[in-house]
Protein backbone atom coordinates (compact mmCIF):
# COMPACT_ATOMS: atom_id res chain seq x y z
CA UNK A 1 0.00 0.00 0.00
CA UNK A 2 1.12 3.57 -0.76
CA UNK A 3 0.44 6.17 1.93
CA UNK A 4 0.40 9.96 2.16
CA UNK A 5 0.30 11.75 5.54
CA UNK A 6 -1.24 15.19 6.15
CA UNK A 7 -0.73 16.74 9.60
CA UNK A 8 0.48 20.16 10.69
CA UNK A 9 2.41 18.59 13.58
CA UNK A 10 5.66 17.08 12.30
CA UNK A 11 6.04 14.75 15.28
CA UNK A 12 2.71 13.09 14.37
CA UNK A 13 3.90 12.64 10.80
CA UNK A 14 7.10 10.97 12.06
CA UNK A 15 5.18 8.66 14.42
CA UNK A 16 2.78 7.52 11.68
CA UNK A 17 5.65 7.07 9.21
CA UNK A 18 7.53 4.93 11.75
CA UNK A 19 4.49 2.75 12.52
CA UNK A 20 3.84 2.09 8.81
CA UNK A 21 7.50 1.22 8.23
CA UNK A 22 8.04 -0.93 11.34
CA UNK A 23 4.78 -2.86 10.97
CA UNK A 24 5.46 -3.35 7.23
CA UNK A 25 2.07 -1.89 6.31
CA UNK A 26 3.32 -0.27 3.12
CA UNK A 27 5.31 2.72 1.86
CA UNK A 28 4.90 6.40 2.75
CA UNK A 29 5.29 8.19 -0.59
CA UNK A 30 4.85 11.71 0.77
CA UNK A 31 3.68 13.99 3.56
CA UNK A 32 2.82 17.62 4.11
CA UNK A 33 2.06 19.98 6.99
CA UNK A 34 0.27 22.35 4.61
CA UNK A 35 -3.22 21.66 3.20
CA UNK A 36 -2.72 23.24 -0.23
CA UNK A 37 0.56 21.41 -0.82
CA UNK A 38 -1.03 18.18 0.34
CA UNK A 39 -3.97 18.50 -2.07
CA UNK A 40 -1.67 19.10 -5.04
CA UNK A 41 0.68 16.25 -4.16
CA UNK A 42 -2.09 13.71 -3.45
CA UNK A 43 -3.71 14.43 -6.81
CA UNK A 44 -0.31 14.06 -8.52
CA UNK A 45 0.91 10.97 -6.65
CA UNK A 46 -2.41 9.10 -6.28
CA UNK A 47 -1.65 7.19 -3.04
CA UNK A 48 -3.87 4.28 -1.99
CA UNK A 49 -4.51 5.67 1.49
CA UNK A 50 -4.27 9.20 2.94
CA UNK A 51 -4.00 9.77 6.69
CA UNK A 52 -5.27 13.31 7.26
CA UNK A 53 -5.55 15.43 10.41
CA UNK A 54 -9.01 16.88 11.04
CA UNK A 55 -7.94 20.21 12.57
CA UNK A 56 -5.56 21.60 9.95
CA UNK A 57 -4.94 25.37 9.69
CA UNK A 58 -6.42 27.29 6.71
CA UNK A 59 -8.26 24.20 5.39
CA UNK A 60 -9.43 21.49 7.76
CA UNK A 61 -9.24 17.77 6.99
CA UNK A 62 -12.88 17.55 5.89
CA UNK A 63 -12.33 20.29 3.28
CA UNK A 64 -9.21 18.50 2.04
CA UNK A 65 -11.16 15.26 1.60
CA UNK A 66 -14.04 17.06 -0.16
CA UNK A 67 -11.67 18.70 -2.66
CA UNK A 68 -9.71 15.54 -3.46
CA UNK A 69 -12.53 12.99 -3.49
CA UNK A 70 -14.19 14.01 -6.80
CA UNK A 71 -10.83 14.05 -8.60
CA UNK A 72 -9.41 10.88 -7.02
CA UNK A 73 -12.31 8.53 -6.22
CA UNK A 74 -9.97 5.56 -5.63
CA UNK A 75 -8.03 7.27 -2.83
CA UNK A 76 -9.12 6.12 0.65
CA UNK A 77 -9.02 8.45 3.67
CA UNK A 78 -8.35 7.79 7.35
CA UNK A 79 -8.89 10.82 9.60
CA UNK A 80 -6.79 11.60 12.67
CA UNK A 81 -8.48 13.65 15.37
CA UNK A 82 -8.92 14.57 19.03
CA UNK A 83 -12.43 15.82 18.28
CA UNK A 84 -15.41 13.94 19.72
CA UNK A 85 -18.10 16.27 18.31
CA UNK A 86 -20.70 13.94 16.75
CA UNK A 87 -21.80 16.43 14.07
CA UNK A 88 -18.23 16.98 12.90
CA UNK A 89 -17.52 13.23 12.87
CA UNK A 90 -20.71 12.64 10.88
CA UNK A 91 -19.70 15.34 8.39
CA UNK A 92 -16.29 13.69 7.97
CA UNK A 93 -17.88 10.32 7.18
CA UNK A 94 -20.25 11.98 4.72
CA UNK A 95 -17.25 13.63 3.05
CA UNK A 96 -15.81 10.17 2.36
CA UNK A 97 -13.46 9.07 5.12
CA UNK A 98 -13.24 5.36 5.96
CA UNK A 99 -12.23 5.42 9.66
CA UNK A 100 -11.11 7.70 12.49
CA UNK A 101 -7.89 7.30 14.46
CA UNK A 102 -8.07 9.10 17.80
CA UNK A 103 -5.26 11.23 19.19
CA UNK A 104 -3.07 10.60 21.13
CA UNK A 105 -1.76 8.03 18.64
CA UNK A 106 -2.05 4.39 19.69
CA UNK A 107 0.14 1.96 17.73
CA UNK A 108 -2.29 -0.96 17.97
CA UNK A 109 -5.23 1.18 16.81
CA UNK A 110 -3.24 2.63 13.89
CA UNK A 111 -2.14 -0.83 12.75
CA UNK A 112 -5.66 -2.29 13.06
CA UNK A 113 -7.35 0.56 11.17
CA UNK A 114 -4.75 0.63 8.39
CA UNK A 115 -4.95 -3.14 7.91
CA UNK A 116 -8.73 -2.93 7.67
CA UNK A 117 -8.68 -0.15 5.07
CA UNK A 118 -5.88 -1.92 3.18
CA UNK A 119 -8.08 -5.03 2.89
CA UNK A 120 -10.84 -2.83 1.51
CA UNK A 121 -8.46 -1.37 -1.10
CA UNK A 122 -7.30 -4.86 -2.11
CA UNK A 123 -10.89 -6.09 -2.40
CA UNK A 124 -11.87 -3.14 -4.60
CA UNK A 125 -8.83 -3.68 -6.83
CA UNK A 126 -9.74 -7.36 -7.20
CA UNK A 127 -13.34 -6.55 -8.07
CA UNK A 128 -12.24 -3.87 -10.51
CA UNK A 129 -10.08 -6.45 -12.28
CA UNK A 130 -12.97 -8.89 -12.46
CA UNK A 131 -15.33 -6.27 -13.83
CA UNK A 132 -12.79 -5.23 -16.44
CA UNK A 133 -12.42 -8.83 -17.54
CA UNK A 134 -16.18 -9.38 -17.74
CA UNK A 135 -16.81 -6.05 -19.43
CA UNK A 136 -14.38 -6.77 -22.23
CA UNK A 137 -16.21 -6.89 -25.55
CA UNK A 138 -15.30 -9.37 -28.26
CA UNK A 139 -14.09 -6.47 -30.41
CA UNK A 140 -11.65 -5.29 -27.77
CA UNK A 141 -10.12 -8.67 -27.07
CA UNK A 142 -6.66 -9.44 -28.42
CA UNK A 143 -6.46 -11.66 -31.52
CA UNK A 144 -6.61 -15.33 -30.65
CA UNK A 145 -3.34 -17.13 -30.20
CA UNK A 146 -2.52 -20.32 -32.10
CA UNK A 147 -3.33 -22.31 -28.95
CA UNK A 148 -6.70 -20.63 -28.56
CA UNK A 149 -7.59 -21.27 -32.21
CA UNK A 150 -7.00 -25.01 -31.83
CA UNK A 151 -8.39 -25.28 -28.31
CA UNK A 152 -11.58 -27.22 -27.60
CA UNK A 153 -14.46 -24.65 -27.43
CA UNK A 154 -15.53 -26.08 -24.07
CA UNK A 155 -12.00 -25.72 -22.73
CA UNK A 156 -12.03 -22.08 -23.89
CA UNK A 157 -15.21 -21.59 -21.87
CA UNK A 158 -13.49 -23.11 -18.83
CA UNK A 159 -10.46 -20.87 -19.32
CA UNK A 160 -12.80 -17.87 -19.47
CA UNK A 161 -14.50 -18.90 -16.20
CA UNK A 162 -11.11 -19.30 -14.50
CA UNK A 163 -10.33 -15.76 -15.63
CA UNK A 164 -13.58 -14.52 -14.10
CA UNK A 165 -12.56 -16.20 -10.85
CA UNK A 166 -9.21 -14.35 -11.01
CA UNK A 167 -7.14 -17.55 -11.25
CA UNK A 168 -5.30 -17.29 -14.57
CA UNK A 169 -2.05 -16.14 -12.97
CA UNK A 170 -1.90 -19.09 -10.57
CA UNK A 171 0.45 -22.05 -11.13
CA UNK A 172 -2.16 -24.72 -10.48
CA UNK A 173 -4.55 -23.28 -13.07
CA UNK A 174 -2.72 -24.97 -15.96
CA UNK A 175 -2.99 -28.30 -14.09
CA UNK A 176 -6.73 -27.75 -13.75
CA UNK A 177 -7.05 -26.96 -17.46
CA UNK A 178 -5.01 -30.04 -18.39
CA UNK A 179 -7.27 -32.30 -16.30
CA UNK A 180 -10.39 -30.70 -17.78
CA UNK A 181 -8.97 -31.22 -21.28
CA UNK A 182 -8.44 -34.93 -20.56
CA UNK A 183 -11.97 -35.22 -19.25
CA UNK A 184 -13.45 -33.55 -22.34
CA UNK A 185 -11.52 -35.92 -24.62
CA UNK A 186 -12.48 -39.01 -22.65
CA UNK A 187 -15.68 -40.97 -23.13
CA UNK A 188 -15.92 -41.91 -19.43
CA UNK A 189 -17.91 -39.07 -17.92
CA UNK A 190 -19.41 -40.97 -14.98
CA UNK A 191 -19.31 -39.72 -11.42
CA UNK A 192 -15.81 -39.97 -10.00
CA UNK A 193 -14.06 -39.85 -13.35
CA UNK A 194 -12.53 -36.47 -12.40
CA UNK A 195 -10.36 -38.39 -9.92
CA UNK A 196 -9.30 -40.81 -12.66
CA UNK A 197 -8.30 -37.93 -14.94
CA UNK A 198 -6.18 -36.39 -12.18
CA UNK A 199 -4.42 -39.71 -11.61
CA UNK A 200 -3.83 -40.15 -15.37
CA UNK A 201 -2.47 -36.61 -15.66
CA UNK A 202 -0.06 -37.16 -12.75
CA UNK A 203 1.04 -40.47 -14.26
CA UNK A 204 1.87 -38.83 -17.59
CA UNK A 205 3.70 -35.88 -16.06
CA UNK A 206 5.51 -38.05 -13.50
CA UNK A 207 4.51 -35.77 -10.64
CA UNK A 208 3.32 -36.77 -7.20
CA UNK A 209 -0.49 -36.69 -7.06
CA UNK A 210 -0.53 -34.99 -3.65
CA UNK A 211 1.70 -32.16 -4.89
CA UNK A 212 -0.40 -31.61 -8.01
CA UNK A 213 -3.64 -31.57 -6.01
CA UNK A 214 -2.14 -29.14 -3.54
CA UNK A 215 -1.15 -26.84 -6.42
CA UNK A 216 -4.64 -27.06 -7.89
CA UNK A 217 -6.29 -26.40 -4.53
CA UNK A 218 -4.07 -23.37 -3.96
CA UNK A 219 -5.12 -21.92 -7.32
CA UNK A 220 -8.81 -22.65 -6.67
CA UNK A 221 -8.49 -21.10 -3.20
CA UNK A 222 -7.52 -17.82 -4.88
CA UNK A 223 -10.79 -18.00 -6.79
CA UNK A 224 -12.70 -18.76 -3.58
CA UNK A 225 -11.19 -15.73 -1.86
CA UNK A 226 -12.02 -13.46 -4.81
CA UNK A 227 -15.62 -14.66 -4.92
CA UNK A 228 -15.98 -14.33 -1.14
CA UNK A 229 -14.88 -10.69 -1.41
CA UNK A 230 -17.50 -10.22 -4.13
CA UNK A 231 -20.17 -11.87 -1.98
CA UNK A 232 -19.35 -9.56 0.91
CA UNK A 233 -19.76 -6.50 -1.30
CA UNK A 234 -22.99 -7.68 -2.94
CA UNK A 235 -24.37 -11.20 -2.45
CA UNK A 236 -26.92 -10.56 -5.22
CA UNK A 237 -24.21 -9.73 -7.75
CA UNK A 238 -24.75 -11.74 -10.95
CA UNK A 239 -21.11 -12.88 -11.07
CA UNK A 240 -21.32 -14.19 -7.51
CA UNK A 241 -24.68 -15.86 -8.11
CA UNK A 242 -23.93 -17.34 -11.55
CA UNK A 243 -20.27 -18.33 -11.25
CA UNK A 244 -19.17 -18.65 -7.62
CA UNK A 245 -21.88 -21.06 -6.56
CA UNK A 246 -21.31 -23.23 -9.61
CA UNK A 247 -17.78 -24.23 -8.56
CA UNK A 248 -17.82 -23.62 -4.79
CA UNK A 249 -20.40 -24.94 -2.36
CA UNK A 250 -22.35 -22.34 -0.40
CA UNK A 251 -21.10 -23.49 3.01
CA UNK A 252 -17.44 -22.92 2.14
CA UNK A 253 -18.21 -19.59 0.48
CA UNK A 254 -19.99 -18.52 3.67
CA UNK A 255 -17.06 -19.67 5.84
CA UNK A 256 -14.59 -17.72 3.70
CA UNK A 257 -16.76 -14.59 3.90
CA UNK A 258 -16.99 -14.91 7.69
CA UNK A 259 -13.20 -15.33 7.85
CA UNK A 260 -12.61 -12.21 5.72
CA UNK A 261 -15.05 -10.23 7.88
CA UNK A 262 -13.12 -11.31 10.98
CA UNK A 263 -16.13 -13.23 12.36
CA UNK A 264 -14.39 -16.62 12.31
CA UNK A 265 -10.92 -18.16 12.41
CA UNK A 266 -11.98 -20.96 10.04
CA UNK A 267 -11.43 -20.44 6.30
CA UNK A 268 -13.49 -22.00 3.53
CA UNK A 269 -12.10 -25.12 1.84
CA UNK A 270 -11.84 -26.16 -1.78
CA UNK A 271 -12.88 -29.68 -2.82
CA UNK A 272 -10.91 -30.02 -6.04
CA UNK A 273 -13.10 -32.76 -7.57
CA UNK A 274 -16.20 -30.66 -6.89
CA UNK A 275 -14.44 -27.62 -8.37
CA UNK A 276 -13.54 -29.44 -11.61
CA UNK A 277 -17.05 -30.90 -11.82
CA UNK A 278 -18.43 -27.35 -11.64
CA UNK A 279 -16.09 -26.14 -14.40
CA UNK A 280 -17.16 -29.00 -16.67
CA UNK A 281 -20.83 -28.38 -15.93
CA UNK A 282 -20.37 -24.71 -16.83
CA UNK A 283 -18.74 -25.66 -20.15
CA UNK A 284 -21.58 -28.09 -20.91
CA UNK A 285 -24.27 -25.50 -20.16
CA UNK A 286 -22.53 -22.93 -22.36
CA UNK A 287 -22.82 -25.27 -25.33
Greater confidence, 72 or 124? 72
Which pLDDT belongs to residue 190? 55
Residue 31 forms beta bridges with which residues?
5
Distances (CA, A) of 160 to 81, 135, 153, 165: 47, 12, 11, 9
> 85 exposed, middle or buried (CB, 10 Å; 0-12, 13-18, 19+)?
exposed
Longest dimension (CA), the chain: 75
Q: How far apart are CA 56 and CA 169, in angstroms?
A: 44
Packed helices 61-68 and 35-45: angle between N→C axes, nearest 10 degrees: 30
With contact defined as beta carbons under 8 Å apart, do 230 and 239 qualify? yes
Torsion sign across C-alpha atoms 220, 223, 229, 234: negative
> What's the predicted TM-score (pTM) here?
0.50
With contact defined as beta carbons under 8 Å apart, do 52 and 16 qualify? no
Which pLDDT belongs to residue 128? 66
**Cα Rg of the chain (Å, integer):** 24
Which pLDDT belongs to residue 246? 86
Q: How far apart are CA 18 and CA 13, in angstroms?
A: 9
pLDDT in tens, 86-110: 778 878 888 888 888 888 888 998 9
pLDDT in tens, 188-222: 555 457 788 898 889 988 888 888 999 999 999 98
For the CA atoms of 148, 153, 157, 162, the dihedral, rounded to the nearest 10 degrees, stands at -40
Which pLDDT belongs to residue 133? 58
Residue 32 forms beta bridges with which residues?
6
Q: How far apart are CA 7 and CA 11, in angstroms?
A: 9
Average pLDDT over residues 247-269: 91
Amino acid sequence: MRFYIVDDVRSIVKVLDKIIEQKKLGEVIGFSTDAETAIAEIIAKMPDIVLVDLLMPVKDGITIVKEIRPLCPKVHFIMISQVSNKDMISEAYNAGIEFFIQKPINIIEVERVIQRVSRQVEMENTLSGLRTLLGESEEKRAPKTEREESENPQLRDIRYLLGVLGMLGERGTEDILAVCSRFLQNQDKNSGSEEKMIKAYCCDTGEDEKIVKQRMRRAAKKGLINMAHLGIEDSFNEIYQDYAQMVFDYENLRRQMDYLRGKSDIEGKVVINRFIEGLLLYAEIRR
